Homo-oligomer: A and B are copies of this chain.
Amino acid sequence: MIAITLLEKYNGIIKNYKNGDLIFEEGNQPLYYYQIISGEVKMNNYNDEGKEFIQGIFYKNQCFGEPPLFIDQVYPANAVAVTDSELIVITKDKFLELLKNNSDISLAIIKNLSQRLYYKSVMAAEISSQDPEHRVLRLIDYSIEQLNFKKEEAGFLINFTRQQIGDLTGLRVETVIRAIKSLEKKGDLKIINRKVYR
């Protein structure tokens, strides 16, 4: 998103997180702008019964957790490193200052937020009113478009576990497994030693 050199000019600090580390927690006041230098971060919630819902997974060069920064609300979800990750962090004040001085960044932020809102709109409609196979396939197609899944001979390698697909679509693992099997039978995707290709 934002050039690291620019972030460093605004007192950017490099922070390292181990796989599983909590970066921020639902309900906390947002204080920083976070951008991924390397690694992978998910934002998630847990419902009353402890079931996880993954809001999104973020990769290299992406930022996350800005919306509450702009609207002075607490975080609606947790951020957790899903691999060892290196982040660059600047304070809210510095971030707003950076924005003010760099109008092109504003447009980049607008585009990024728009993209995420688009994803949420599509998935909201899917999750609320489509059958499991439809939901899984839509998530896969959207992820191929947006994330950098590798294209191999068999097709795009879907780099998600069945559990992650479940947590992103609001389905249980078993349901995802059965949906994927059924989609394979219909020829919509391939399973090659347990990996999913589309």
Contacts and interface: CB of A to CB of B under 8 A. Distances in A.
Interface of A: 43, 45, 47-49, 51, 53, 55, 66-71, 73, 76-77, 99-100, 103, 106-107, 109-111, 113-118, 120-125, 127-130, 134, 169-170
Given A99-B107, A106-B103, A47 B130 contact: yes
11 contacts: A45-B125, A51-B129, A55-B121, A55-B125, A66-B114, A70-B114, A76-B122, A103-B106, A120-B121, A120-B124, A124-B124
Nearest to A113: B113
Contacts of A113: 67, 110, 113-114, 117
B55 A124 contact: yes
A148 B22 CA distance: 36
Contact of A110 (B49, B70, B118): B70
A49 to B, nearest CB: 8
User: How many identical subunits does the complex contain?
Assistant: 2
Nearest to A43: B121
A130 to B, nearest CB: 5
B76 A170 contact: no
SS of A interface (majority): helix
Contacts of A128: 53, 127, 169-170
Contact of A67 (B51, B55, B114, B130): B114
Contacts of A123: 124
A117 to B, nearest CB: 5
